Amino acid sequence: MDTKPTMDPKPTMDPKPTMDPKPTMDPKPTMYIKADNNHVINEKYIRWIKKMGDCLEVCTKTDGCAVKRDTQSVCKLYSLEGYNRLNKHFTE
């Protein structure tokens, strides 16, 4: 008796790969502000802002800041764009 090996039919592949339909990127882009001492501040991490004349003191530490010691300065004279972006939240 002549026995031939039988071949299994081709396995069927799902035509649609299972992928998450939602994009993984944030809907809003991350915004940064240039501080006076050449540091960059991520707007997401700002805890509070204190206005002091033509400068803004910005705290980004989670456990709080001491003004002028732990804060970043954003002054109108040196960082006009960042100052204007943050200053719009204050009313005169």
Task: Sketch the domain layout of the chain as residue ranges.
Answer: 32-87
- Is the pTM of the predicted complex or chain greater than 0.85? no
Rounded CA-CA distance 55/62 in Å is 22
pLDDT tens track for 37-82: 888 999 999 999 999 989 999 999 989 899 889 999 999 999 999 9
Rounded CA-CA distance 35/56 in Å is 10
Q: What percent of the chain has pLDDT over 90?
A: 46
> Is the distance from CB of 59 to CB of 71 less than 8 angstroms?
yes
